């Protein structure tokens, strides 16, 4: 094996092979109670170890500065992402969301690998012990179990139109064209886009269907209704109704990890024909890293809500001019 081949093996082959092996192991159904992809052991420790392996095995000229040691591990991480996407092991939305934590953890691991190699004694045993750490941490993490937390996403928009025009566009949303849909984060993550919302009558107990593309439907039941002022409703998505190709399995609404609970519209008068439309939603997460997952989920929910509010604003103001 020449120097170039050896360098590629150390910098790419071993770290990438390690990450892929753990990814496939954590996916085995029979081991679901022991290993989980939605865990701290996978999302934090695996990239940390990849970073450590990369710099520990690399020659000194690749790691002779702090900057090199921090960014060199990004090479195997990005290759790991590419391979898992290419072979449909992981979806694009999940890769995008885990990328920041993977890259940061890999950089920390890279610095640790350099320090480990600089010590006087032989640290191969310590490095070997580090590679089996996820096998020890994950079962303990699964025994402790995931924590369920509830969160709120709040958005609002100011509209210059009569209350009747605004409210008619809130309770029932006419079909939304692709041109009207301006959700940037949901587009980036390839989430279903909103199509329309149907309400059978106005009042407590009414049923409202918020329909999205690819078979996603939010089944809403009105729990509080004050005409032209407030409408609250429970929200339920039924996972068995959603085709497998619609969303990544880790992001399915109403699934194991994420669910939307309820929502509220409130219309606040600011002045003559000037109103502020508030939209709240409550959702829950069940993971061992809610502190990170909640940031993404809250921003996704806000993106969906801001998109809907913008559409309702444009339509209400247009309706007030033409009618």
For the stretch 113-136, pLDDT in tens is 999 888 756 688 888 889 999 999
**Cα dihedral 81/87/89/93 (nearest 10):** 60
Task: Read off the pLDDT band of 26 (50, 70, 90).
Answer: confident
- Token pair 């020659």 in the structure block, residue: 59
- pLDDT tens, position by position, 193-247: 899 999 999 999 999 999 998 888 999 999 999 999 999 999 998 876 766 555 6
Task: Say how far residue 147 (Cα) sits from the centre of its chain.
Answer: 17
> pLDDT at residue 1 above 60?
no
Task: Read off the pLDDT band of 323 (50, 70, 90).
Answer: low
Q: Which two tokens stand for residue 209?
A: 């269907």
Spatial distance between the Cα atoms of 232 and 204, rounded to a whole number of angstroms = 9
The helix-helix angle for 74-86 and 46-57 (nearest 10°) equals 130
Task: Read off the pLDDT band of 191 (50, 70, 90).
Answer: confident
Region 171-181: what's the mean pLDDT? 92
Q: What is the pLDDT of residue 120?
A: 58
Task: Read off the pLDDT band of 250 (50, 70, 90).
Answer: low
Number of other CB atoms surrounding residue 190 within 10 Å: 15
Q: What is the pLDDT of residue 167?
A: 97
Region 60-83: what's the mean pLDDT? 92
- pLDDT tens, position by position, 157-166: 999 999 999 9
pTM assigned to the model = 0.86
Residue predicted with more confidence, 299 or 5: 299
Residue predicted with more confidence, 188 or 19: 19
Residue predicted with more confidence, 75 or 244: 75
Residue predicted with more confidence, 207 or 37: 207
> pLDDT at residue 80 above 70?
yes
- 159 contacts 313 by C-beta, under 8 angstroms: yes
For residue 105, give the nearest of 34, 61, 54 by alpha carbon: 54
For residue 196, give the nearest of 233, 169, 223, 222 by alpha carbon: 169
For residue 130, give the nearest of 56, 186, 66, 216 by alpha carbon: 56
Residue predicted with more confidence, 9 or 298: 298
Report percent pLDDT > 70 for the chain. 91
Q: Which residues contact 192 (CB under 8 A, 6 or more apart)?
A: 186, 212, 213, 214, 215, 216, 246, 247
Residue 174 per-residue DSSP state: P
The mean predicted confidence, pLDDT, of the chain is 89
Least confident of 135-144, 214-223, 301-310: 135-144
Report percent pLDDT > 90 for the chain. 62
* Sheet-wide strand order for 217-226: 147-159, 274-287, 258-271, 230-236, 217-226, 207-212, 194-199
């Amino acid at each position: 094996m020449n120097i170039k081949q050896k360098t590629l093996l150390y910098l790419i082959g071993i770290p990438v092979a390690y990450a892929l092996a753990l990814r496939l192991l954590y996916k085995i159904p029979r081991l679901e109670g022991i290993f989980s992809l939605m865990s701290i052991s996978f999302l934090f420790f695996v990239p940390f170890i990849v970073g450590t392996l990369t710099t520990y095995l690399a020659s000194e000229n690749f790691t002779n500065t702090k900057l090199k040691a921090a960014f060199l591990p990004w090479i195997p991480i990005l290759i790991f992402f590419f391979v898992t996407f290419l072979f449909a092991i992981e979806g694009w939305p999940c890769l995008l969301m885990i990328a920041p934590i993977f890259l940061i953890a890999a950089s920390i691991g890279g610095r640790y690998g350099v320090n480990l190699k600089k010590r006087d004694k032989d640290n191969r045993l310590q490095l070997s012990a580090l590679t089996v750490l996820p096998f020890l941490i994950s079962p303990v993490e699964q025994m402790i179990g995931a924590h369920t937390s509830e969160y709120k996403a709040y958005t609002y928009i100011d509209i210059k139109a009569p209350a009747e025009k605004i409210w008619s566009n809130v309770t029932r949303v006419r079909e939304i064209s692709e041109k009207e849909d301006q959700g940037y984060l949901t587009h980036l993550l390839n989430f279903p886009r909103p199509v329309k919302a149907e309400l059978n009558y106005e009042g407590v107990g009414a049923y409202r269907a918020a329909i999205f593309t690819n078979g996603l439907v939010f089944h809403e039941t009105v729990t509080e209704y004050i005409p032209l002022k407030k409408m609250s409703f429970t929200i339920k998505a039924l996972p068995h109704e959603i085709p497998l190709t619609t969303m990544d399995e880790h992001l399915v609404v109403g699934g194991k990890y994420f669910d939307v609970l309820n929502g509220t519209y409130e219309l606040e008068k600011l002045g003559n024909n000037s109103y502020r439309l508030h939209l709240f939603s409550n959702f829950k997460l069940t993971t061992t890293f809610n502190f990170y997952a909640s940031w993404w989920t809250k921003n996704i929910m806000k993106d969906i809500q801001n998109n809907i509010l913008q559409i309702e604003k444009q339509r209400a103001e247009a309706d007030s001019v033409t009618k």
